[in-house]
Structure 1
Amino acid sequence: MTTYSENNSSIKNWNEDDRPREKLATKGRSSLSDAELLAIIMGSGSRNESAVELAKRILKSANNNWNELAKYSITDLCLFKGIGEAKAISIITALEIGRRRNTQDVLERKKISSSNDAAIILQQQIGDLPNEEFWIMYLNQGNRIIKTEQISRGGITQTSVDVRLIFKRSLELMATGIILSHNHPSGNLVPSVADKSITQKIKEGALLLDIQVLDHVIVSQKNYFSFADEGLI
């Protein structure tokens, strides 16, 4: 059992296994108790009480119910030793964010069913840029967009691509499929030898990670070229 002295109530002074921030980073948000989550919001406890112990006491007063705690005012929270106005405001702010989240609908991720679906989105991102940029569209198992991000930015005629960054980000986002894309500022959509080479390189690497390269879409301001449509992938 860990004990806390007057000088170690701040989370940063705790043993590593007792730090909720580190626990969240290494084990995920669901591994934290309600008290640990509240402790992170507060940042520290009082001289004689750790942030987690203080959080437990506050939650207990609200019957361990976030909805009850959300009714507390700044004055109510400041009645607890170790809670000043700044901490009280932080707690109220976090709970208000949660309340607003509950009133909003979950945004439906757009599904990509064809090269045209992808091209419309990608043209809006990079179709009219004066320099080449390489982007990746990360998709889930239902071919819905998780995220669309820039991987690299180059000059007027070419851009370099670090394949490792693509796979690293794919794993972070748990993507099962990706669509490669870059723009041709010249308007000439014919893929170069380098375009074909990098596509093949990424496709081969993706197979080892069970990630499917669905397409490579080259875009200009008005048109696009799809490797999948042309049987090149």
Structure 2
Amino acid sequence: MENQKIPINFWSEDDRPREKLLTKGKTALTDAELLAILINSGNRNESAVDLCRRILQDNGNSLPELARLSEKQLMTYKGIGEAKALSIVAALELGQRRRMREVTVSQKITCSKDVFEMMQPRVGELSHEEFWVILLSNANRVRKIVKSRDMLIEERFNSQKVIDTLNISKGGMTGTVLDLRILFKLALEYQATAVILVHNHPSGKLKPSHADIQLTKKVVEAGKIMDIVILDHFIITEFDYFSFADNGLI
């Protein structure tokens, strides 16, 4: 015989997610309780909290893992229809976008952790490898992020001091290739005095490959000719990073 669920409205007020949010604040709620507010109801055998707790457990109790699920994957859970699945996907995407914007507006890069916090939301959770560059001013300040070449062209006329993060190369699971001509063309167009290279390792391994090291050396030497300093090269994973400069490789 299946266990009969106890509806949330029969719980004590201190345990009900909505009431708990109102009386104790958002930080008092667990991830499962916050998700339960989004979906509002569970299924015949589980309350909204129990259902969300199970969904999280199936995904390692990790919100980044949960964010990788599509609405169709979420809908495989009994009690999660299209509307609830879309609510979860939208909420997690909003959280990701907020994080991306908070760490980039007029940010000055002062240490390697700054770069990790800026770029991890963009590449740390990708299933494919991407190569990015950060163009910097004399003060190492990032002024704007541009996600595509088309947007870059449109933004060119908006400011004489545009310092952007530019997605200039995209690869597959096994690697990516950086076009040095594009890199330095962009650096010259935006009068950048320094560059930071960034790419992700979907495998989660932080150790740079031989190809990573050789590419870095090649870019550094080309930068000397162009009088543009290559400050660092970062390998970003979901939870950590490797800095070539911190490890004496630049």
If the length of structure 1 is used for normalisation, what is the TM-score?
0.53
Counterpart for residue 118 of structure 1: 115
Letter in 1 for 2:247: E
Q: Secondary structure at the match of 2:172?
A: coil
Letter in 2 for 1:188: K
Which consecutive segments of 4 or more residues in structure 1 shift more than 6 A?
Answer: none
Unaligned runs of 5+ in 1: 1-106
Q: Secondary structure at the match of 1:156?
A: coil
Identical-residue share of aligned pairs (%)? 48
Show the 5 A alignment for 1:1-233.
109-145=106-142, 146-233=163-250
Letter in 2 for 1:218: I
Letter in 1 for 2:127: P
Q: Secondary structure at the match of 1:169?
A: helix
* Distance in 2 between residues matched to 1:108 and 1:118, nearest whole Å: 13
CA deviation string 1:42-100 (max 9, x = no partner): xxxxxxxxxxxxxxxxxxxxxxxxxxxxxxxxxxxxxxxxxxxxxxxxxxxxxxxxxxx
CA deviation string 1:171-218 (max 9, x = no partner): 011100000010000000100000001101010001111111000010
> Structure 1 pair 204/185, CA: closer, same or farther in 2 (3 Å)?
same
Question: Do the aligned residues in 2 keep the contact of 1:175 with 1:211 (CA within 8 Å)?
Answer: yes
Compute the displacement of 1:161 (Å). Answer: 1.1
**Number of matched residues?**
127
CA deviation string 1:9-32 (max 9, x = no partner): xxxxxxxxxxxxxxxxxxxxxxxx
Compute the displacement of 1:157 (Å). Answer: 2.0
Q: Secondary structure at the match of 1:178?
A: strand
* Distance in 2 between residues matched to 1:110 and 1:147, nearest whole Å: 11
* Distance in 2 between residues matched to 1:226 and 1:121, nearest whole Å: 14
If the length of structure 2 is used for normalisation, what is the TM-score?
0.50
* Distance in 2 between residues matched to 1:157 and 1:108, nearest whole Å: 32
Name which one, 1 or 2, has greater alpha-carbon Rg.
1
Aligned-residue RMSD, C-alpha: 1.2
Letter in 2 for 1:116: K
Letter in 2 for 1:141: N
Unaligned runs of 5+ in 2: 1-103, 143-162
Compute the displacement of 1:124 (Å). Answer: 1.1
Q: Secondary structure at the match of 1:216?
A: strand
